[in-house]
Structure 1
Amino acid sequence: MGMISRVRGRIRSDSFSKFPLIKSEDKIANIVWLLSLVLLLPYWAPRGLLLALGGAWLMAAYTCLVLPVLISANYRYPARWYPSVVKFAQESARRMRAPVRKVLRVVKAAYAPLDRVEKFFLQMNNLSTMLSQLLIFTACDRLLVSQGRLTSLYSLMFYNVVTYSVSYVREICTKEDWSPYVNVTRHSRVKHLAMSATKIVLEWTKAVTFIVTITFILLTLGLEQGLEHYRPNALYTIITGIYYFLSEKTFLELGPVGLAGLKLERLEGMEAIYFGVWARGITTALAVPLVPALAWYERWRMATLVLYLCVFVHGRHRLGEALLKLKEARGSLARFRRATPEELATLEDVCAVCLGTMRSARVTPCAHFFHADCLRRCLAASDRCPICVRPYVFC
C-alpha cells in the first residue's frame, strides 16, 4: 500500500505538472472561434445556401442577426493567437510600405494617359451622363425586371421627355424679352427682318414640339399598345428615377433653387455646393450595390462597366471635385466666426454685397457682417474687407 501511495504521489507531482492547465477563458475563446467558423459556412456554400432556402430576405436576416453576435463574442473572448496575427500583419505592412509606394508610383505613371482620357470624356458632359444613365438603367433592367428587356429604353425616353418639358417650362417662366423681333443693334429700334423671322419660327417650333411631345406621351400612357415590354416595378422606378434626376444637368441646376427655398441656415447660402456633393454622393452610392449583384448573377461585363464608369470614374472625378469645392469653401470661411442670434437681432442690416437680409452671417476681424457665400466670393477676388478695404488680421 505504501508503494502504491508513493507511485500515485510521484505521478501527480511530476507527470501532470508538465502539462499546463487550460484556463476557462481560453476554452471559451477556442469554442467561440470554432462556432464562428461553423456559422460562417453558409456564406461559402455554392450559389448561397441561404439564398437557395429562403431567398435574399433570409440572407439579410441571417447576416443582421449572426454577424454582430460573432463580432462581439470574438471581441469579448479573443483567442491567444489573435494579437500575434495582428502584430504580424502590422510588421508586414511596415516592411511592405516602401515597395508598395514604388509600385504605386509605377502604376500612377502608367495610368496617367488613361486619366487624361477620363477627364476628356467627362468634359463631354452630355455624352458621359447619358452613358452612365444607360448603364444604370440597363443594370436595373437585368436585375429587377423579369420580363420586358426594353424597360430601360422606355424609362430613359420617358425621363428625357420630362426633362425637356421641365426645361421648356423653366425657359418660359424665366424669359424676360417676349418681343418676337430682333433689333439690328442693342440700342437701335430698327428691326432685323431675317433674324426676327428666324426667332419667330424657332419659338413656334419649340411650342409645337412641346405640345406634340406631351400629347404623344399622354397617348402612349393611355394606350396599352406599345407598352407590352414596359413593366417596371416600384424599386426599379425609385432607383432609376433618383439616379436620373440627380445626374441630369437641368435638375442639378433646379435642385439648389428648391433647396434655397427651404432657407436652411446651416447651409449659409451655399446650396449649390452642398447639393452638388449630395447629388454626386447619392448617384455613386446607388451604383455601388449593383456591382456585386451583377457579379452574383454572373453578368461580369455589365458589372465591370458599372464599376469602372459609374463608380470609379464618376466617383473619383465628379464626386471628388464636388468634395474639393466644399472643402475649399469651408476652409476659406473657417477663419471667420459665425454671428450669434443676438448680434443678428440687434444688427437690423443687410449684407453689403448682395443687399439681402441676414438670417445667418460671418463676422470679419474688422466687425463687418456678410453672408457666408458672399464673403467666400469676395475672398476669391481679394483678401480685403469689401467695406473698409482693410486686410484681414486674425489674432
Structure 2
Amino acid sequence: MASTDNNDENDDQHFILRCFQFISYPFVVVINRLVSDIHFMEQFYIKLYNIYAFVSQMFFFLSCTLAFNEYNASKKEEEFILTGLKTLLFYSVFTYFASKTRDILSPTHPSLFHNWNLTEGLCRIVIEWAKAIIVVICLREQGIYFKPSVPYAIFTFSYYLCTEKIFTEICLKLCQYLDFDIFDDLEHLYVPLVLNMYTMALSLIINLYLLIIAEFMTFTFVSCYFTIYIRLKDSYYNYWTVVKLARKTFENFRTASQKELEEFDDVCAVCLNKMSKAKITPCNHFFHPNCLKECLKSSLLCPICKVSF
C-alpha cells in the first residue's frame, strides 16, 4: 500500500514538472533569443570603436567629475556635464596634435621619408605643438577654462590614453618593438587586454565610490554598464578567448628535430629564410615559430595548403 502511495506521489511530481516545463518553454525561448540579440548588438557596438571609446570616455569623465567634486555645487546638473565635455575637448586637442606629430615621424610618407632632414622634422613638430598651445589659449579667451585637480587629471588622462585609438596603437607598436617574452608574440591580443583591465579597474574604483556615497545611483549603474560590463565582454570575447585559442593551436604544433630539419632542407615559406628551428603543422609543413605566429594572427589556416588548424 505504501509503495502504491509513493508511486502516485512520484507520478504527481513528474506531471507537475512536465507542466512547468511546458508552460515555461516559450518564456525560455524568448529570453534566450533576447539575450542573443543583445549580445549581438553589444558586439556590433564594440566594433564601432570610435563611438565605443567616446561613450566610455564620456561616462568615465562624468563619473570622475562627480567623484572628485569637479563642478559648481549650485549648478550641479549642468556643471558636471560641462566639465566632462571640457575634459574631452582639451584631450582631443592633445590627440589631434599628437597624431600630426606621429605622421611627421612616420616613414610611411615617402615624400617626407626620402627628404628627411632632422632640422625640418623638429621644426614641423614644434610648429604643430605651437598650434596646440594657440588653440588652448583661444579656448581660454572664449571662457572655456580647464583647471582640474591632480587626482582628476591623473585618472581621466590615464583612462583617455588607454582608450584612445592612436595611443593604444602606439603602445602596441612599442611593446612589439621591445619584444617582451611574456607576450609570446601575441602583443596584438595581450596589449588591448591589459589596457582594458586597467581601464576597468579605474572605472570600478570610481563607481564603487559613487555607490558608497549613494547619491547618483541611476547614473552610476548606467556608467558601470558602459565602462565595466561592456569592456569586460570586449576583453573576454574579443581578446581572452582568442588568446586561449591561439596558444592552444600553437602548442599543438610539434617542434621539428634537428634530423627533420636536415632532411627537409628548405626555407620557411613565409620569410624565405633557412630554418635552424621550426614548427611542424598537422599538414606536415615547416615554418619558423615566429612566422607561424604572425600567420595565426590573421587566420587559423595553413599559409601553404589552407587546411584549417
- Does TM, scored on the shorter chain, surpass 0.5? yes
1:299 is matched with which residue?
216
Q: CA separation of 1:351/1:131 partners in 2, compared to 1, >3 Å: closer, same or farther?
A: same
Of 107-116 and 261-270, deviating more is: 107-116
1:246 is matched with which residue?
162
Q: Structure 1 residue 136: deviation in Å?
A: 0.1
SS of alignment partner, residue 270 of structure 2: coil
Q: Structure 1 residue 391: deviation in Å?
A: 8.5
Conservation of the 8 A alpha-carbon contact between 1:363 and 1:369: yes
2:118 is matched with which residue?
none
Counterpart residue type for residue 171 of structure 2: G
1:285 is matched with which residue?
201
1:139 is matched with which residue?
63
Conservation of the 8 A alpha-carbon contact between 2:70 and 2:148: no
Conservation of the 8 A alpha-carbon contact between 2:254 and 2:279: yes
Q: Does 2:91 align with 1:159?
A: yes
1:54 is matched with which residue?
none
Q: Does 2:213 align with 1:333?
A: no
Counterpart residue type for residue 315 of structure 1: L
Q: Does 2:254 align with 1:321?
A: no
2:111 is matched with which residue?
178
The whole-number CA distance in structure 2 between the counterparts of 1:337 and 1:280 is 33
The whole-number CA distance in structure 2 between the counterparts of 1:249 and 1:177 is 24
Q: Structure 1 residue 239: deviation in Å?
A: 1.8
The correspondence for 1:266, drawn from 182, 186, 191, is 182
Conservation of the 8 A alpha-carbon contact between 2:97 and 2:129: no
Counterpart residue type for residue 371 of structure 1: P
The whole-number CA distance in structure 2 between the counterparts of 1:354 and 1:236 is 48
1:220-235 superposed matches below 5 A: 226=143, 230-235=146-151
The correspondence for 1:107, drawn from 3, 11, 31, is 31
Q: How many residues align?
A: 256
User: Which digits, 9 at most, give the CA deviation of each residue in 1:203-248, with x for residues without a partner?
Assistant: xxxx9x9567413246369x799465x3323322222122211111
Counterpart residue type for residue 46 of structure 2: L
Counterpart residue type for residue 275 of structure 1: V
The whole-number CA distance in structure 2 between the counterparts of 1:112 and 1:390 is 31
The whole-number CA distance in structure 1 between the counterparts of 2:184 and 2:251 is 13
Counterpart residue type for residue 167 of structure 1: S
The whole-number CA distance in structure 2 between the counterparts of 1:252 and 1:361 is 33
Q: Structure 1 residue 124: deviation in Å?
A: 2.8
Instruction: Normalising by structure 2, report the TM-score.
Output: 0.66
Instruction: Normalising by structure 1, report the TM-score.
Output: 0.53
Counterpart residue type for residue 247 of structure 2: R
Counterpart residue type for residue 374 of structure 1: L
Conservation of the 8 A alpha-carbon contact between 1:290 and 1:303: no
1:28 is matched with which residue?
none
Conservation of the 8 A alpha-carbon contact between 1:161 and 1:213: no
Q: Structure 1 residue 250: deviation in Å?
A: 1.2
Percent identity (aligned): 23
Conservation of the 8 A alpha-carbon contact between 1:132 and 1:309: yes
1:124 is matched with which residue?
48
Q: Does 2:168 align with 1:236?
A: no
Q: Structure 1 residue 354: deviation in Å?
A: 3.7
Counterpart residue type for residue 266 of structure 1: I
Conservation of the 8 A alpha-carbon contact between 2:301 and 2:307: no
1:214 is matched with which residue?
132
Q: Structure 1 residue 139: deviation in Å?
A: 0.2
1:72 is matched with which residue?
none
Conservation of the 8 A alpha-carbon contact between 1:339 and 1:362: yes
User: Which digits, 9 at most, give the CA deviation of each residue in 1:82-108, with x for residues without a partner?
Assistant: xxxxxxxxxxxxxxxx99x97876533
Structure 2 regions of 5+ residues with no counterpart?
Answer: 1-19, 73-79, 113-124, 258-265
Conservation of the 8 A alpha-carbon contact between 1:129 and 1:247: yes
The whole-number CA distance in structure 1 between the counterparts of 2:308 and 2:55 is 47
User: Which digits, 9 at most, give the CA deviation of each residue in 1:112-136, with x for residues without a partner?
Assistant: 3433433343333222211110000
2:122 is matched with which residue?
none
Q: CA separation of 1:375/1:321 partners in 2, compared to 1, >3 Å: closer, same or farther?
A: closer
User: Which digits, 9 at most, give the CA deviation of each residue in 1:180-200, with x for residues without a partner?
Assistant: xxxxxxxxxxxxxxxxxxxxx
Q: Does 2:304 align with 1:380?
A: no
Conservation of the 8 A alpha-carbon contact between 2:193 and 2:239: yes
Of 318-327 and 370-379, deviating more is: 370-379
Q: Does 2:227 align with 1:310?
A: yes
Higher-Rg structure is 1
